[in-house]
A and B are shown apart, each in its own frame.
Chain A
Amino acid sequence: MQTLDMATTELREVNATLQSQKADTNQRAWEIVNPKGSHAIACGLDGPIEVTVRGSTGYYCGGMNKEATVHIVGSAGPGVAENMMSGTVIIDGDASQYAGATGHGGLLVIKGNASSRCGISMKGIDIVVHGNIGHMSAFMAQSGNLVVLGDAGDALGDSCYEARFFVRGKVKSLGADCEEKEMRPEHIEILKDLLERAGADAKPEEFTRYGSARKLYNFNIDNAAAY
């Protein structure tokens, strides 16, 4: 395991070191100590390395990740794993706003709670939150899966497209054009796999599925009040 100490190493050097590890690197395990809430830690990674961040991070940790596994042993600031393409980001603590925003792929696991706008505009990412999520989560979500073991705040899935939401607890309210959906066998399968990969101790059958009612897909003046 290689260690990068942010008490003595600049952010630029930390990221440049991690970003330059390509697919064939033999230095796969990295550890960042003393992150002290710095922003943009371990963003733009582009290879199958494993990075453990010991402490809490600021904005955009793991942003645009490809292939790497980033494990935050602490909590994450806003926009963690934003626009992730592939790989895994795991947060042991809580995540602030916009966790996994616009993510295209990969798996984001939040062991604590996520704040508002979790999975906003998600485009294929899978997000599993062990705790609760805040309001306006999955706003304009396009595709991918958002799994919540706890409760969801107001306006879940507002103006969503084809993304799926699975919530075990209560949903305070659904957003415009988001509705409860039937849980079919294929959804149970998807959920089972995600729960397993996220190390979540829950049964797929306990969840309710939500998704787009597809009523706002094409503009109709009689729906104007929904906006």
Chain B
Amino acid sequence: MNDMTKPPLGIPQTAPIKSATFTDPINAEIRRAAATGIYDIRGGGAKRKVPHFDDLLFLGASISRYPLEGYREKCETKVTLGTRFAKNPIELDIPITIAGMSFGALSGPAKEALGRGANAAGTSTTTGDGGMTPEERGHSSKLVYQYLPSRYGMNPDDLRKADAIEVVVGQGAKPGGGGMLLGQKISDRVAEMRNLPKGIDQRSACRHPDWTGPDDLEIKILELREITGWRVPIYIKVAGARPYYDTTLAVKAGADVVVLDGMQGGTAATQDVFIENVGQPTLACIRPAVQALQDMGMHRKVQLIVSGGIRTGADVAKAMALGADAVAIGTAALIALGDNDPRWEAEYNALGTTAGAYDDWHEGKDPAGITTQDPELMARFDPIAGGRRLSNYLKVMTLEAQTIARACGKNHLHNLEPEDMCALTVEASAMSGVPLAGTNWVPGRGGDY
């Protein structure tokens, strides 16, 4: 008998092809949304591939540039932040700072570990949405106090204890979005610090309650300076949205330091749609911000801290070569503490994920005991050992950046410059203003040197 449903033997079949548009993860997300009726909330930064520091390379020394001797000739790494108005600028041994991460999102011991690690490496840490804890004040010799729209835990005593104040206007993971801390993580202590009922889903505001726009911000900064006697630097943190104008306005409003957080920047918890679809890649933000500073004659007078996807000493060197004075790390610091470590793989699997992909930080079930308020999980994390790992990592990154700087003939990381680099892709070249490798061409500009 002839089976008409089967093609005759020997005729090749169409291979099953999955859609490049409707991918497995997209389809899974459609099914998840349909089943639950709620958008996906997660921690971390953008997971999509965007042009990044990997798309830049250093040229190294040649006949026209001579290198410095590794381990013998000095390559300085010190940076001073807040030289514009503050009586007491912050002096750091290394240009890598720890970004603001809230107590609430992180456990008390995790905050302590950040302080210990940063201290040992000679750098600063930053509070977050949720106020200042004694753990972090006690263990961070240089602590930046965030002034956020929510004003949770904001009080003049802590303000006066801070070594710098960071007015948060935006965050790279969610330019225009507020904070989020779901009920599972509102423990008694977190609730008390935030003056909120326990167990509620807590969405912090996206706009400051008592100022709007750059003219108000200038007056707000005046008030903060008056309360702190003009002693400490005032940073303004902006998301990588309109870096040229945001930097210009931050400087106009009186910032000592501009913190610029690109779209890959991590968050404790935000809608996935926000993380992946709003903001500009870090790489694309730096040149416009530096240009804004240069146009005002303020480059190096108002310092620029760049964050969002900084992982290695090479990233640090590249950000600085583009004109940043320092960088900040969030996600990388958590990984150094032990977040997403494969040693917890069985537990990640039980949560339906795998080490390296775990991002449900808002649920408070972190097997590594870092992004949780659960006493049992928290107890797994040793703040002394964690601090040690963080300081090791910070020192390695610094050594890596120095290695590159010496190879480029620089005796200070600040002397790195765009001319030390080439871009691997047309996109990276256009975004960073660094010529495409093998050419003297920057898309959108003339080809002359």
Contact = CB atoms under 8 A, between A and B. Distances in A.
Interface of A: 11-12, 15-16, 19, 39-40, 43-44, 46, 58-60, 63-64, 66, 78-79, 82-83, 85, 97-98, 101-102, 104, 117, 120-121, 123-124, 139-140, 142-143, 161-162, 217-219, 221-222
B412 interface: no
Given A104-B195, A142-B196, A217-B201, A66 B209 contact: no
Given A102-B151, A221-B38, A58 B210 contact: no
Contacts of B36: 221
A59 B155 CA distance: 18
B210 A43 contact: no
B221 to A, nearest CB: 10
Contacts of A123: 151, 195
Given A60-B219, A123-B151, A98 B226 contact: no
B159 to A, nearest CB: 7
Contacts of A217: 197, 200-201
B223 interface: yes
A123 B197 CA distance: 12
Interface in B153-167: 154-157, 159-160
B391 interface: no
Given A60-B220, A142-B196, A15 B226 contact: yes
B295 interface: no
Interface of A is mostly: loop
A63 B211 CA distance: 13
B28 interface: no
A140 B205 contact: yes
Given A102-B151, A142-B196, A11 B226 contact: yes
A38 to B, nearest CB: 10
B209 A104 contact: no
A40 B219 CA distance: 8
B226 to A, nearest CB: 5
B23 to A, nearest CB: 25
A139 B222 CA distance: 25
Interface string B170-209: 0000000000000100000000001111011100010001
Number of chain B interface residues as a range:
20 to 34
Interface of B: 36-38, 150-151, 154-157, 159-160, 183, 194-197, 199-201, 205, 209-211, 216, 219-220, 222-223, 226-230
Contact of B156 (A79, A85, A121, A219): A85
Contacts of B159: 64
The 4 A-B pairs with the shortest beta carbon distances in the complex, nearest first, are A44-B227, A221-B37, A79-B210, A64-B156
B44 to A, nearest CB: 20
A102 B209 contact: yes
Contacts of A140: 205, 209
A43 B222 CA distance: 10
A197 B210 CA distance: 26
Contacts of B205: 121, 140
Contact of A219 (B196, B201, B216, B227): B201
B223 A60 contact: yes
A78 B223 CA distance: 12
A221 B41 CA distance: 14
A120 B210 contact: yes
B195 A63 contact: no
22 contacts: A11-B226, A12-B230, A15-B226, A40-B219, A40-B222, A43-B227, A44-B227, A79-B210, A82-B210, A83-B151, A85-B155, A104-B154, A121-B151, A121-B205, A139-B209, A161-B196, A217-B201, A218-B183, A218-B200, A218-B201, A219-B201, A221-B36
Nearest to B38: A221
Contacts of B226: 11-12, 15, 40, 43-44
